[in-house]
Amino acid sequence: MKICVLVKQVPGPDSPLLISDDKKWIQEEEIDYAMNESDSYALEEALQIKERLGEGEVVAASLGPDRVQKTIREALAKGADRGIHVKDDYPSTDSYVIAGQFALALKEENFDLILSGLQSDDTGMGQTGLMLGEFLGMSTSTLVMETDISEGKLRVKKELEAGWFQWVSMDLPACITIQSGLNTPRYPSLRGIMGAKKKEIKVMESTPQGELLQSLEKIYVPKKTKLTEMIEGDTDQVVAKLVDVLKRDIKVL
Amino acid sequence: MDILIIFEHSNGKIHRMSWEAVAAGQSLAKDLGLTTAILILGSNVSELAEEASKKNVDEVLVADHPLLERYSSDGYSVALKQIITDESPTYVIMGHTYMVRDFLPRVSVALKKPLLCDLTGYYMENGNSVFTRQLFQGKITSDILPNGEPPYLLTFQSAAFQEDAVVDGSGASVRNIDVNLDKSMIRSQYEEPFQGEVGGVDLTAAELIVTIGRGIGKEENINMVKELGDTLGAQLGASRPVVDAEWLPTAHQVGSSGQTVSPKLYLALGISGAIQHVVGMKGSKNIVAINKDPDAPIFELADYGIIGDIIEIIPKLTEAIKNAKA
Ligand SMILES: Cc1cc2nc3c(=O)[nH]c(=O)nc-3n(C[C@H](O)[C@H](O)[C@H](O)COP(=O)(O)OP(=O)(O)OC[C@H]3O[C@@H](n4cnc5c(N)ncnc54)[C@H](O)[C@@H]3O)c2cc1C
């Protein structure tokens, strides 16, 4: 089983988000990067599928400038076998473009299964994985919460709304996008970290962006419209004031 | 028609966000002087078509096919590609639901047309519509535009438009349209949906809810919130990361994948206020948020806010409530 996982490098949860002067993106120098959260669940699922089957290969692929190799290395340290870096110094925010670049770069590999997180923590479009599946003519599913592969068929548990689920079976090759919480992502071992240095990362230099289907005009801090009553003071003061609010205003004490 | 609004339905019931999509479509139609239609995919859906035809739209389209009786990513993608090609609308509008997430990106590729998704709204500028959507889980907003020739696919976030803003009409005509589907096109089999473990946790009727977010930091800290909840007589809610980390069972999850609540008091501790959480709790009568980040989107929703460290505040709050109750 030849498995690919798309891992995106995004600003980590505590990274500063300062808007750049041209208002098109955030200031790159200030960002603390991390692997996109749902992608780390996808990576773990890929590694577990390989372990369950007792055979196969897990390839971690990422698109972006040279810094994304750090995220690929992290995947290698956790157990991915090799990496593919689709190089683009100025990656687009249009999922169609990104999926198209991945399709070009990964086509020849003929993967049986491609996994990715269901959406990225930066643009949050939730399109890339499914678009890649469509470009490559694969079966697709999003919101995957469990996987089961036997006899060349894939069965996934899909999350529906409001706490409902559904099992879906599909033919391979398939391209699925993973919802958080389906497993417990592992930490890299020291041996894994050492071993990762020797694993191959193939750099794909020329995958042109082509036409953009949508463009980001500008970004800004959301306008505040709600009048929130802010309770201020030191810890003892805010606690006393809050108890007062609970008693007098909300009347729950 | 210029604006094609696509309905989502299950068990004979139209999805709440499909009505919101109608409100969005009607609003755009008014601002841009365009005509509208509602499209229903399915099998034996004449009752739904009748319901749709009572709204102020120019037409209702019905694509009736046995292979559309049940949702499948392949079936919906193929059918919609055909319909959109035949009808060539300017805009195609749907709610940003889990079903739509599952197949609409594929239609975008198949048609090579933009999918502007999870939109929070639009505004008019020089006679054109500029669309808005959140980035970084609501911490930043963006303006976006589709490129190239229409059609443009749009999906709107929950509550971007209001269901009760839908304008009634005087009976739109219903037109049946053909789709060309056969079994070999559908490569996936969908089993019966089932409900996850609820484990006796029913937050929907709770009067007081204290909800724990990732800001609680580690599992050991959950206990101090349990104590606060007990002292207050409140039920415990959780955001997804807390459930993902198995600090609390799934049954406590509030949000689009969990429960929808409307208590008298919703105390949000270390919750950022991502849309998927917010849809589950925005109906609460009084929202109190404590977060160390003054820019956390949850403050946009809260009636009362405290900027501070919950680890420090929670034990003191528990003490103070004990004293107040004594
Ligand atoms: C399809 C889909 C469905 C989803 N369904 C759900 C759902 O049903 N329910 C749900 O909750 N989420 C859901 N999510 C996830 C959602 O998008 C958010 O990721 C999640 O709600 C974030 O949880 P959080 O606010 O606890 O964590 P974070 O966003 O990480 O926020 C933590 C907050 O804690 C604050 N903080 C940190 N430390 C402290 C401290 N010591 N004191 C005070 N504040 C502190 C931080 O400033 C931050 O604002 C879903 C996502 C998707 C894509």
For chain B, the structural domain boundaries read: 3-185, 203-325
Q: Following DSSP, what letter does each residue of A70-103 receive, concatenated? A: HHHHHHHHHT-SEEEEEE-SS--S-HHHHHHHHH
pLDDT for A59 beyond 80: yes
> Which tops the pLDDT comparison, A202 or B199?
A202
User: Is the shortest distance between the CB of B96 and ligand 1 below 6 Å?
Assistant: no
Token couple for B87: 């009808």
pLDDT for A225 beyond 90: no
User: Is the shortest distance between the CB of B240 and ligand 1 below 6 Å?
Assistant: yes
Rounded to whole angstroms, how far apart are CA atoms B94 and B182?
A: 25
| Average pLDDT score over chain A | 97
Tell me the average pLDDT across A202-226. Answer: 92
C-alpha of residue B289 to centroid of ligand 1, in Å: 13
What band does A196 get if pLDDT is binned at 50, 70 and 90? very high
- The protein residue with its alpha carbon nearest to ligand 1, atom 48, reads B272
Asked if residues B320 and A235 have their Cβ atoms less than 8 Å apart, the reply is: no
CB-nearest partner of B135 from A123, A168, A232: A123
User: Is the shortest distance between the CB of B138 and ligand 1 below 6 Å?
Assistant: no
C-alpha of residue B36 to centroid of ligand 1, in Å: 37
Rounded to whole angstroms, how far apart are CA atoms A71 and B267?
A: 36
- pLDDT value of position B86: 98
pLDDT digits (tens, 9 = 90+) for B101-134: 999 999 999 999 999 999 999 999 999 999 999 9
- pLDDT value of position B200: 77
Distance from CA of B22 to the nearest CA of A (A): 20
C-alpha of residue B211 to centroid of ligand 1, in Å: 11
Q: Following DSSP, what letter does each residue of B99-137 receive, concatenated? A: HHHHHHHHHHHHHT--EEEEEEEEEEETTEEEEEEEEGG
Rounded to whole angstroms, how far apart are CA atoms A213 and B56?
A: 31
Angle in degrees, CA A16, A97, B106, rounded to 5: 110
Asked if residues B104 and B165 have their Cβ atoms less than 8 Å apart, the reply is: no
pLDDT for A35 beyond 80: yes
Same fold, B3-185 and B203-325: yes
A17 to chain B, any CB pair closer than 8 A? The answer is yes
CATH homologous superfamily, domain B3-185? HUPs (3.40.50.620)
Rounded to whole angstroms, how far apart are CA atoms B109 and A99?
A: 9
Q: For every one of its 326 residues, what pLDDT tens digit does chain B have, with 9 covering 90 and above?
A: 999 999 999 999 999 999 999 999 999 999 999 999 999 999 999 999 999 999 999 999 999 999 999 999 999 999 999 999 999 999 999 999 999 999 999 999 999 999 999 999 999 999 999 999 999 999 999 999 999 999 999 999 999 999 999 999 999 999 999 999 999 999 999 999 999 987 778 999 999 999 999 999 999 999 999 999 999 999 999 999 999 999 999 999 999 999 999 999 999 999 999 999 999 999 999 999 999 999 999 999 999 999 999 999 999 999 999 999 98
Nearest Cα residue to B312 out of B184, B238, B215: B215
CATH homologous superfamily, domain A2-205? HUPs (3.40.50.620)
Tell me the average pLDDT across A72-89. Answer: 98
CB pairs A-B closer than 8 Å: 240
Helix axes A235-244, B310-325, angle to 10 degrees: 50
B290 CA to centre of own chain:
25
User: Is the shortest distance between the CB of B82 and ligand 1 below 6 Å?
Assistant: no
A15 to chain B, any CB pair closer than 8 A? The answer is no
Q: What's the residue count for chain B?
A: 326
What band does A110 get if pLDDT is binned at 50, 70 and 90? very high
User: Which chain B positions have a beta carbon within 8 Å of A157's beta carbon?
Assistant: none
Greatest CA separation for chain A: 68
- pLDDT value of position A92: 96
What band does A207 get if pLDDT is binned at 50, 70 and 90? confident
Nearest Cα residue to B281 out of B299, B260, B296, B298: B260
Interface mutation vs chain A, best among B10, B70, B101, B261, most A CBs within 10 Å: B101
- pLDDT value of position A226: 86
C-alpha of residue B240 to centroid of ligand 1, in Å: 7
- pLDDT value of position B61: 98
- pLDDT value of position A61: 98
Judge: A229–B257 Cβ closer than 8 Å, yes or no. Answer: no
pLDDT for A14 beyond 90: no
C-alpha of residue B273 to centroid of ligand 1, in Å: 6
- pLDDT value of position B15: 98
Cis peptide before A222 (omega within 30 of 0): no
Token couple for B66: 């046995």
A11 to chain B, any CB pair closer than 8 A? The answer is yes
Q: Indicate which atom in ligand 1 lies nearest the CA of residue B212.
A: 26
Rounded to whole angstroms, how far apart are CA atoms B173 and B61?
A: 9
Judge: B306–A238 Cβ closer than 8 Å, yes or no. Answer: yes
CB-nearest partner of B324 from A11, A160, A253: A253
Three-class secondary structure of residue A112 per DSSP:
coil
pLDDT for A213 beyond 80: yes
- pLDDT value of position B266: 98
Q: Provide the sign of the torsion angle of the four alpha carbons A55, A111, B98, B264, taken in this order.
A: positive
CATH homologous superfamily, domain B203-325? TPP-binding domain (3.40.50.1220)
Pairing of β A164-171 and β B188-190: antiparallel
Domain ranges of chain A: 2-205
Judge: B303–A169 Cβ closer than 8 Å, yes or no. Answer: no
- pLDDT value of position B197: 82
Which helix (H) or strand (E) segment holds residue B317: the answer is helix B310-325
Per DSSP, A19 falls in state B
Judge: A164–B246 Cβ closer than 8 Å, yes or no. Answer: no
